Chains A and B, each alone.
Chain A
Amino acid sequence: SQTIHQWPATLVQPVGSPLSLECTVEGTSNPNLYWYRQAAGRGLQLLFYSVGIGQISSEVPQNLSASRPQDRQFILSSKKLLLSDSGFYLCAWGGQLQETQYFGPGTRLLVL
């Protein structure tokens, strides 16, 4: 069966520090991968998606970037965090057909 992992689970970082969040998927190959952010009191916003290794599409201009170094690994990064980067970050995967997406447990990021 397929499993999706995210780490760390929680993170407290000072403003201006770098960020690296990791997401890995097991039990499937060539998945579409997604990064979402959920700010306090707001809906989920799609940040990045990837249909293959090295292929990244950005949905909103921001302080963040994403990379996909391996088929089942998706990384969210920042060189310098802003206060507004605080939120709950969710990784998801979906198949090549447009069926459901499966979400990871999330990373809660607090930037102080």
Chain B
Amino acid sequence: KQEVTQIPAALSVPEGENLVLNCSFTDSAIYNLQWFRQDPGKGLTSLLLIQSSQREQTSGRLNASLDKSSGRSTLYIAASQPGDSATYLCAPLEDYKLSFGAGTTVTVRA
């Protein structure tokens, strides 16, 4: 059974600082890995998807890396803004099923 761990559980930074969110997973036989954002009381919004054959994926200020063999992924958010405040979830996909970590809750202070 896939176990996903996200560190840190919470993060508070001043506006403009870069963010580094870590994710580890136990079973490396994944098809892809996705990062999602969840605002309080809302559903999930997909941010980035990295295929298992890729090492990195970028979208605007977001960059995600994947080291499948070691079971790790990192989400980098450059020049954080108050609007980036949310919970970020990492989810590896295998056999058509996503496994989720508990998330990292980010607060960006203006």
Could you tell me which A residues sit within 8 Å of B by CB distance? Answer: 32, 34, 36, 41-46, 49, 51, 59, 88, 90, 92, 94, 98-106, 108
Question: Are A102 and B46 touching (Cβ within 8 A)?
Answer: yes
A-B contact count (CB 8 A): 54
- Residues 75-110 of chain B: 1 if any A CB is under 8 Å from the residue's CB, otherwise 0? 000000000000001010100111111110000000
Further contacts, 19 of them, CB under 8 A, given A34-B98, A104-B43 = A32-B96, A34-B97, A43-B103, A46-B97, A46-B98, A49-B97, A88-B41, A90-B44, A98-B32, A98-B93, A98-B96, A99-B49, A101-B34, A101-B46, A103-B43, A103-B45, A105-B43, A106-B43, A108-B41
Nearest-CB residue, chain B, relative to A104: B43
Which B residues lie within 8 Å of A88 (CB)?
Answer: 41
Could you tell me which B residues sit within 8 Å of A by CB distance? Answer: 4, 31-32, 34, 36, 41-46, 49, 89, 91, 93, 96-103
Question: Are B98 and A105 touching (Cβ within 8 A)?
Answer: no
Q: 7 tightest A-B contacts by CB?
A: A44-B100, A103-B44, A103-B43, A43-B102, A43-B100, A98-B31, A105-B43
Which A residues lie within 8 Å of B101 (CB)?
Answer: 43
Main secondary structure of the interface of A (DSSP, over half): strand
In the complex, how many angstroms separate the beta carbon of A10 from the nearest chain B beta carbon? 9
Residue from B36, B99, B102 in contact with A42 in the complex, judged by beta carbons closer than 8 Å: B102
Q: Can you list 12 A-B contacts (CB < 8 A)?
A: A42-B102, A43-B4, A43-B100, A46-B97, A46-B99, A92-B44, A94-B96, A98-B96, A101-B46, A103-B44, A105-B43, A106-B43
